[in-house]
Amino acid sequence: MTDIDKSVIAPRPRKGRGTISNPDGRFESRTYRRVDDGWGSADDGEEDRLHTTLTPDKSKSVIASNDSPDVGFKLSINPYRGCEHGCVYCFARPSHAYLGLSPGLDFETRLFYKPDAAYLLAKELGKPSHRCSPIALGINTDAYQPVERKLEITRGILQVLRDFNHPVSIVTKSALVERDLDILAPMAEKNLVQVMFSITTLDPDLSRRLEPRTTAPRRRLDAMRRLCAAGVPVGVMTAPVIPILTDPELETILAVSREAGAESACYVVLRLPHEVKDLFREWLQHHEPLKARHVMSVIRDLRGGKDYESTFGTRMRGTGLFAELIARRFMLACKRLGLNRRWRELDTTAFTRPSGRDAQMALF
């Protein structure tokens, strides 16, 4: 071990942040480490003063197309890059490396927002070449993360979709979606919207450590009830299912979600692509040291002996005995609770392009 290795300052958890460290992205040519220079700078608390920054994203288009065979949508919109929710397990973290930033703390503190998203969406939907297909909103990062309360970019997108009678599906870990019931309820009457609430755990302490800035699990269930009461179809995603840590809660999450009004359910087994595997392993060592080896052992069993396997068809569920057990438990619980008796197909036939003054207003 070199003198530099001995003086490297080990990262420590920060209140309200999911990951512990901020490693350089996989495309960077240099690696930086914080070291103790002997002048007391290691104790100045500077590393704890970490604030969220917002930068405009000047994308020229807002609708992304997808041809992956194991996801249920062709089109998606992500109003934000990076996510302040800070979920340590987020599969989207590696995307920050394309911006020259870290998938670690940068992902949850250095955010990019699309101020022209509603305008760009109206232009794209107005093109004769657009073919209506349900748009998945907030798939890569949550469309209702905390900054949405102030920026209202997601709300603007929903207003445009409403004006065009365009179907949309939403996945969120936030109760902020209640704010937009004035838009969602009328769309639901036309079978144009469905909201899926992602619930990983019902344990508030574990949730605070795994996904520190998300809405509390029980509060998500309250939001599910309110949307259901307003006529908006709701469902639950038990995602991700984390072996040992959260998989014992699978049936309970489905049961309380059903009681809150969920009519559909799905699940995704924990995915650890690229840098996420190291960030998650680091989180385990700090927060669940007694379970860390067991958790990673089962994950490798799910992934053919590796930390992650990206093959289409198995990446969402895994393979092997544990994967089969999770699938069986999920199927039996859904059958017992009456979930997924029918899968809602949103209406694509009502899509219309506004004309005249309405078309101009849709651009603002």
* Of residues 35, 16, 20, 12, the one with CA closest to residue 103: 20
Task: Report the chain's C-alpha Rg in angstroms.
Answer: 21
* Neighbouring C-alpha atoms within 13 Å toward the C-beta of 152: 7
pLDDT for the residue numbered 23: 81
Q: How far apart are the first and last CA of the chain?
A: 60
Burial class for 157, CB neighbours closer than 10 Å (0-12, 13-18, 19+)? buried
* Domain-wise residue ranges, the chain: 54-271
Give the span between the Cα atoms of 221 and 262, in whole angstroms.
9
Burial class for 288, CB neighbours closer than 10 Å (0-12, 13-18, 19+)? middle
For the stretch 285-325, pLDDT in tens is 999 999 999 999 999 999 999 999 888 878 889 999 999 99
Residues of the chain with pLDDT under 50: 1, 3-4, 6-7, 44, 46, 357
Name 135's bridge partners.
75, 168
**Topology of the domain comprising 54-271:** TIM Barrel (3.20.20)
For the stretch 69-118, pLDDT in tens is 767 778 999 999 999 999 999 999 999 998 999 999 999 999 999 999 99
For residue 59, the tally of other CB atoms under 10 A from its CB is 14
What's the pTM value of the predicted model, to 2 decimals? Answer: 0.89
